[in-house]
Amino acid sequence: MALLKVFDPCAICLLCLVLSASELCNGGITGNFLRKEYSPDMPLDSDVFQVPPGYNAPQQVHITQGDTDGRGVIISWITPDEPGSDTVLYWSENSKNKNRAEGIFVRYKFFNYTSGYIHHCTIKNLEYNTKYMYEIGIGYTIRRFWFKTPPRTGPDVPYTFGLIGDLGQTHDSNVTLTHYESNPKKGKTVLFLGDLSYSNDYPFHDNTRWDTWGRFIERNAAYQPWIWTAGNHELDFAPQLEETTPFKPYMHRYYVPFASSHSTSPLWYSIKRGSAYLIVLSSYSAYGKSTPQYKWLRDELPKVDRSKTPWLIALMHCPIYTSNSHHFMEGETMRVVFESWFVKYKVDVVFSGHVHAYERSKRISNIAYNIVNGMCTPVDDQSAPVYITIGDGGNHDGPAIGMMEPQPNFSAYREASFGHGIFDIKNRTHAYFSWHRNQDGYAVEADSFWFHNSYWNPLGKSFVAQH
């Protein structure tokens, strides 16, 4: 038998994974609910894509947090035919005095498409825990919406987040959004895990699909903030169309408050909301040592004050732990770079999309592994995050049904169904997570889990609630 003279890192890593799978067959639960393999797009004449009446009426209205602490809001919309007004009028629910804020507009071209006038207006210094009304438009096209600011940041502030990823614009996408809106837990802010419109899947990266998607989500995103994470379908890198600027449509349409967290890019940033510190990362930007994203996260994590924001949450598109054959190990390089920091700073949970299924891990880490020691089996680690994949919004690719067998030990629950998640923070020590399958009643929890905060309750053993 010939002896290997050179170590092949990929071969070693794959061998370890095979050995791990064969040795650790006492994984968790695999849901047996099976979805159809394909999800058709909604017709373009669907009411969810309807253009508001009136010439040049504002459309695709959406909001996101506009600063670090939650007292700011970025309001965005598009006027299709001409710039129109950049002004937002806003007032608190119990006030008759309307305030005025002025925004900006931008445009972009992509291949044979020219966007409408994309408006962004940042409102600052709002009162906490207050409902505000706002108006945009001119004359007969004025449209009115509302939002509610979060409570003041504090360690025992309860707050409820919704989680959606890989949404698209299919019939199943519509069910997912309807299911989330009807959930009795009432999420107050959506943490969106990347892959928005899927426009790049249409011929010539059809950017009109950005417009239809923006009108589709307006019914929710105009009233509560969506915290954006960029996915691979936002890259829109198409040299064959002479389009070589990554993320061009996404970054023109979806502004985020990256500068307030001293980030140099809107693709990675942080915000505080309630008792949570949210860190958004970019799976499709450079993150190796000495890159801007690496240096930003290195400097950002020590700033987190767990006495004020006890819940530390990371968002990224590509999961670094998955037992699904779809996109298997695509997040491995990011795991190598960032996992030790997640453990060191006791990140509570990492939410991801990309894999079109749902999966929840145990608290595990693989930080002992290096290329020569062979210790490449994830182990229980109460300082490590729980990794949750929610890439099951309803896109046209259908669910990722290729689960790896046997189910590895690190996987607590997995299922190839469409749905959404709810992360309900109770206080500094406990939060309750639930995953809701589209086919169930609004209050049904297909999977649920109590979180014991990694900083305030480090010895508490997390446990599974009733399925």
Active site residues: 327
Question: How remote is the C-alpha of 172 from its chain's centroid?
Answer: 18
From its phi and psi, is residue 58 left (phi > 0), alpha (psi between -120 and 50) or beta? beta
Q: What is the CA radius of gyration of the chain?
A: 22
From the list 108, 228, 246, 115, the residue with the least C-alpha distance to 167 is 228
**What DSSP string describes 191-257?**
EE-S--S-GGGSGGG-THHHHHHHHHHHHHHTTS-EE----GGG---BGGGTB-STTHHHHHH----
User: Tokens 């006492």 map to which residue?
Assistant: 26
From the list 183, 175, 212, 177, the residue with the least C-alpha distance to 197 is 212
From the list 263, 261, 269, 192, the residue with the least C-alpha distance to 231 is 192
3 is written with which tokens?
Answer: 């002896």
178 is written with which tokens?
Answer: 């309807």
CB 131 within 8 A of CB 147: yes
**Pairing label, strands 386-390, 349-352:** parallel
CB 320 within 8 A of CB 351: no
